[in-house]
């Protein structure tokens, strides 16, 4: 049975499913139609190298994982063969031939984006861990302390602020999974801005966390 965000009763879970599953699938379907290059931008390579990431190790790990998941299982061959057809264009109209070629190019672009996604995940894993350790965990702990102080001082809590803050935190956490699919280069500025936003969202959610809402 297909999973749809609207079919999940818990709003936080449905939002997480949207960002981590539904939106990535839509992106994989529609992004190749705009002829987005699956190549890794040199700026990204430079960024992760400065972070101490071994590019050769990342590429080797990505190739091994891609091969095990999609080539050895036959998924890539079956999908590309399905859209490519038999290659016999006898009796086909020019329109059908063009559509077949477009579908084949689209499928190759999809696999290129999947490979790029895996590469980015492996490369950004080190950046994620460093940023979460240096920014997000301290922000979360500080938010918990702020919440404890509010409870100790019997300060009133706003359910609206709680809902907005937790939905924001879930959205940003979901974006951690989605970001490797975005069609522009992941340079230090957007990555640092996102990690700062993640830390702020976690702090806000922890500081306003409530039970029984």
Residue 2 lies in a domain: no
- pLDDT at res. 121: 92
- Judged on CB neighbours under 10 Å (0-12, 13-18, 19+), 143 is buried
- Average per-residue pLDDT for the chain: 82
Coil, strand or helix: which one is 174?
helix
Per-residue pLDDT of 91-127, as tens digits, reads 557 776 777 778 888 998 999 999 999 999 999 888 8
Q: Which domain holds residue 114?
A: 10-31+41-207
Q: Locate 66 and state its tokens.
A: 């891609």
Is 60 exceeded by the pLDDT of residue 162? yes
Q: Is the pLDDT of residue 157 over 90?
A: no
| Residue at 213 is within a domain | no
Question: Using alpha carbons only, what angle is made at residue 111 by residues 107 and 116, rounded to the nearest 5 degrees?
Answer: 145
Percent of the chain beyond pLDDT 70? Answer: 86
Question: Residue 86's pLDDT band (boundaries 50, 70, 90)?
Answer: low
Do residues 106 and 32 lie in contact, with contact meaning Cβ atoms separated by under 8 Å? yes
Which of 116, 133, 121 lies closest to 176, judged by CA?
A: 121
Q: Is the pTM of this model over 0.85?
A: no
pLDDT for the residue numbered 110: 92
Answer yes or no: is 4 within a domain: no
User: Which structure tokens are listed for 194?
Assistant: 């996102």
- Summarised one tens digit per residue, pLDDT across range 54-75 is 999 999 999 999 999 999 999 9
Q: Report the number of distinct structural domains present in the chain.
A: 1
């Amino acid at each position: 049975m297909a999973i749809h965000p609207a079919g999940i009763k818990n709003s936080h879970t449905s939002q997480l499913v949207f960002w981590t599953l539904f939106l990535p699938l839509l992106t994989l379907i529609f992004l190749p139609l705009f002829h987005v290059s699956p190549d890794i931008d040199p700026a990204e390579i430079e960024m992760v190298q400065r972070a101490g990431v071994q590019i050769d190790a990342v590429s080797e790990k990505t190739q091994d994982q891609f091969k095990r998941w999609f080539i050895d299982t036959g998924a890539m061959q079956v999908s590309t063969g399905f859209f490519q057809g038999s290659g016999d264009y006898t009796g086909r109209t020019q329109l059908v031939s063009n559509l077949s070629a477009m579908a084949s190019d689209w499928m190759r672009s999809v696999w290129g984006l999947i490979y790029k996604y895996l590469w980015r995940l492996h490369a950004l894993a080190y950046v994620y861990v460093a940023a979460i350790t240096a920014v997000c965990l301290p922000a979360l702990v500080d938010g918990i302390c702020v919440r404890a102080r509010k409870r100790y001082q019997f300060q009133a809590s706003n359910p609206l602020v709680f809902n907005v803050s937790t939905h924001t935190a879930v959205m940003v956490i979901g974006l951690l999974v989605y970001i490797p699919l975005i069609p522009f280069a992941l340079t230090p500025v957007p990555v640092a801005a996102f990690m700062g936003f993640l830390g702020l969202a976690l702090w806000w959610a922890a500081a306003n966390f409530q039970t029984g809402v």
